[in-house]
Amino acid sequence: MTKTKQQIIDDGHAAKRLLDDTDLGRFLDEIREEAFAEFEGTAFDESSLREQAYNKIQGVEHVRRTLRSMVDNLTIEKKGK
């Protein structure tokens, strides 16, 4: 799906609000820390549990990268005006 310039700008502003939200940041940090503790707490033969924890960590980081990308796109769109 191709977004319009206005949609990119609107998404960028919404993403910035989310990234600036201290509660959301704290929640994402807590999820990541819990998943890391799960990862560290697995036994050698618990590869499935390790994989699940790893995927949680990657999911949190994916959310953050996607939001930062939207903010970057906002900056690009604003410079293009």
Q: Which amino acid is at 36?
A: F
What's the pLDDT tens digit per position in 29-76?
Answer: 999 999 999 999 999 999 999 999 999 999 999 999 999 999 999 999
**Residue 81's pLDDT is what?**
63
**H/E element holding 1?**
none
What's the pLDDT tens digit per position in 2-14?
Answer: 999 999 999 999 9
What's the pLDDT tens digit per position in 13-37?
Answer: 999 999 999 999 999 999 999 999 9
Whole-angstrom distance, CA of residue 46 vs CA of residue 37: 14
**Residue 46's pLDDT is what?**
97
Whole-angstrom distance, CA of residue 11 vs CA of residue 68: 11
